[in-house]
Amino acid sequence: MVFGKSKDKGVSRKEHLAFKSASILQVRVLTAFLFVVFSCCSLPVFAGERLKVVASIFPVAEMARAVGGDRVDVRQLIPPGSDPHSWEPKISDMVWLEKKADLIILIGAGLEPWAEEVVGQVKDVRSKMLELAKVSDDLLKADKDQQKGHGHGHDDHASGHNDPHIWLDFKWDMAATLRIARAMTALDPGGASFYEKNAQNYIEALKKLDISYQKALSSCPRKTFVVAGHAAFGYLARAYGLRQVALYGLSPDASPGPRKMAEVTELVEKEGAAKAVFFDDTVTGSLAKTLSRETGARTFVMTPGESLKRSDISKGTTFIGLMYRNLDALSDGLGCKTPSRGPAE
């Protein structure tokens, strides 16, 4: 290029410098724009890294995944088919909790008795723990008071023990979801709006579930349901005006005595043509089969959802999907007039 005045299409040095300055300015403006755009995206605080979250049971893991999305890696600590009441962590689990986990989410309220052992053996692990039951002290207190009283909604719980199956109260799940979002935000402030939006989306799904339960179960002619297993459904029963009668208390490892079996058998027989017995197929169906054989009752699967069966894992079954299944079973077994109309899984 020739600088200086010319009769052809060349430009002066002054014009060239002006053009160069304008180009640099455009590059800087474009760079600033791209920085703003990418800084608004949902990237972790450290590029390529995600929060490492450990959840004790399946419902908690689902909440954490729903809230955390692609900013977190969630590991369910208690494997499929295991009982959270009796499961114990291996040494490899202890190491993972100490060295890798950023956040450990538990139910609390005695559901995970092994947690205190972990606190005693793993350095600084308590500071990583979020016990969701602490969001619901009043609800737990009401549950304990109810056990000491007439027991409607909770039948034959272990005396003096809180019922830890609190995730079966869907309004409590909504509050727990917000607690999880706040805990993730504290560790990853850049994702605050991302976590809040995801939490609200999951809460909306829980609200729809709650409304479905209200509509379907309000039309049932019978309000008592018999559980051929442990008394896991007290919160659900109380939330929707039902009464749970279980063969034994809170521990899945217990077993009913002859007197209790006779009492429940008599109760089922009084239901006449609409006999129904509910059981958790992740534990055992033998007691339900016994009651069915002796009374002619129909049997229905209803699970608390602590853990998935492997067949459900392969299908991608969700906690909310499981709860709609429970509603279908209750609606059928209790003769409800309004269908549950849960979403297809």
Higher pLDDT, 219 or 63: 63
The length of the chain is 345
Which architecture does CATH list for 136-345?
3-Layer(aba) Sandwich (3.40)
Under 8 Å between Cβ of 250 and 231: yes
Q: Is the pLDDT of residue 196 over 90?
A: yes
Q: Is the pLDDT of residue 238 over 90?
A: yes
pLDDT band at 165 (very low <50, low <70, confident <90, very high): very high
User: CA 220 from chain center: how many Å?
Assistant: 27
> Residue ranges of the domains in the chain?
136-345
Phi then psi dihedrals of residue 7, to 5 deg: -85, -15
- The closest alpha carbon to 246, from 200, 304, 190, 188, belongs to 304
pTM: 0.77
d(CA 115, CA 104): 10
Which whole number is the average pLDDT over 302-324? Answer: 89
Name the strands in the sheet holding 298-301, side by side, starting at the edge strand that comes first in the sequence.
243-248, 224-230, 276-279, 298-301
Which whole number is the average pLDDT over 38-48? Answer: 44
Q: Which of 37-41, 248-252, 337-341 has the highest average model confidence (pLDDT)?
A: 337-341
Which tokens sit at 81? 């088919």
Q: Which residues are registered as beta bridge partners of 277?
A: 226, 299
pLDDT number for residue 326 = 96
pLDDT number for residue 152 = 37
Element at 310 (helix H, strand E):
helix 310-315
Higher pLDDT, 120 or 343: 120
pLDDT band at 88 (very low <50, low <70, confident <90, very high): confident
Under 8 Å between Cβ of 59 and 307: no
